Amino acid sequence: MEKKRIEWVDGLKGIACVLIFCHHFALIFFPATFYGPWAESRLQGIDTYLAQSPLGVVLNGNFLLAVFCMLSALVLSLQVMGMEDKTRLGGVVAKRYFRLMPPLFVVGLVVWVFLRFGLFTNTQAVAATGSPWVGQYYRHALSFREFLEAALVKVWFYGDESLSTAFWMLSRLFYGSFLAILLSTVAWKYRKRAWIMYIAVAALLFDRSDLLLAFALGTLLAWLLHRDLRLPKLVPPMAVLLGLLLGGYPSGFSATNFYRYFRGLTFVDWHILGAFVMLFGILFWKGAQKLLSWRLFTWLGKLSYSVYLIHIPLLFSLTTGVFLWTEGKLGYFGSVALAFGVSLGALIGIAWLYHRFAERGFARLQDKLFSKLEKK
């Protein structure tokens, strides 16, 4: 079966990757959007309010990661469930590491060079921004051996953050991909009853603050996509709104508003549940799918992995560098606005080039290598 892209999935990935960049940008310059009252407000309390407001879901990086992981599981599961030639499964498993690792390796090499020559400026921005987060990373140079260990092994199997604070998630993405593939094969034999296995695995992973839960639920969504479910018209929009409400649960501190009644679970579990409910609504809401399939969103979705890999090194070099260089001339908000515009433009431009010439190039090389291995 030919692998077919789902446009609304690409569109949602595109939106999520840009919002994750905005989340980390806000963590640097408006840390109260994450830490709430535990950080200094720079927007007359608006940033503190957003930290535990449902409106703050657009800057809630943990929820956006849950969405991203669930979408990855959905796409992988659909690919496996729809396989006519079951012998292709081995290729899907074998190619996963080689699909993800080479693009990261190149970005990691750039990070290693920047660390060696002291080109990161994030630690210098701490005094001006007051962010307790931005100064924790890129403090020491890595040896070339440390870089190789991180890029080839530690990022994927141990969630190492030495090359980027965002890379902790890649080990969950890596393991979660294999979980989704394994669960998807259940549908080959037990197509009508596979949901029992998916819910059982999700129950075992529930309340453990583990993104693997997102992959089990993503596989369940893939199974539901092939079901002829007829829902009342109001159910999908209400599910999307409920999912966004759960996605707004604060991550950086204990809530003091109505979210305090949600404390029975961790923020990770609430965000995963929110992602599931929201995606369930989108799955059966043609209007939302049409909106998410807008060409700009789908184009960004194709760049999402490149954006994810690049955005932290860019934020901790170009973004903080522009801010430090212009703050004395433009003031805090002027320099932050300039840094945001320059950084977002540079991020999209570099990600487009990287996707077109590096990421796609690695994919073609991988296909050639595996096609040779498959020859008898």
Domain range annotation of the chain:
8-371
Q: Kindly state the tokens that stand for 144.
A: 């070339």
**The predicted structure's pLDDT at residue 86:** 86
Mean pLDDT of 67-86: 94
What's the pTM value of the predicted model, to 2 decimals? Answer: 0.95
Q: Are 250 and 51 in contact (CB under 8 A)?
A: yes
More confident residue, 5 or 163: 163
Residue 3 reports pLDDT greater than 80: no
Rounded distance, CA 56 to CA 334, Å? Answer: 23
**The predicted structure's pLDDT at residue 263:** 86
Angle between helices 61-81 and 89-116 (to 10 degrees): 150
pLDDT digit string, tens, across residues 312-342: 999 999 999 999 999 999 999 999 999 999 9
Residue 367 reports pLDDT greater than 70: yes
Q: Are 315 and 20 in contact (CB under 8 A)?
A: no
343 — pLDDT class (breaks 50, 70, 90): very high
Residue 348 reports pLDDT greater than 90: yes
Secondary structure tally for the chain: helices H, strands E:
18, 0
- What Å distances lie between residue 58 and 2, 222, 301, 324, CA to CA? 34, 25, 17, 26
**The predicted structure's pLDDT at residue 2:** 40
Q: Are 151 and 103 in contact (CB under 8 A)?
A: no
**The predicted structure's pLDDT at residue 375:** 67
Residue 207, phi-psi category: left (phi > 0), alpha (psi -120 to 50), beta (remainder): left
Q: Are 151 and 143 in contact (CB under 8 A)?
A: no
Residue 155 reports pLDDT greater than 70: yes
Contacts of 266 (CB under 8 A, 6+ apart): 207, 209
Residue 275 reports pLDDT greater than 90: yes
**The predicted structure's pLDDT at residue 1:** 38
Rounded distance, CA 221 to CA 300, Å? Answer: 23
Q: Are 213 and 69 in contact (CB under 8 A)?
A: no
Going 344 to 349 to 355 to 358, the CA torsion angle's sign is negative
Rounded distance, CA 246 to CA 228, Å? Answer: 27
**In whole numbers, what is the pLDDT of the chain averaged over residues?**
94
370 — pLDDT class (breaks 50, 70, 90): confident
b/e burial code for range 4-38 (CB count within 10 A of at least 16 → b):
eebbbbbbbbbbbbbbbbbbbbbbbbbbbbbbbee
Rounded distance, CA 352 to CA 103, Å? Answer: 13
- What Å distances lie between residue 345 and 2, 133, 341, CA to CA? 35, 24, 6
pLDDT digit string, tens, across residues 231-259: 999 999 999 999 999 999 999 999 999 99
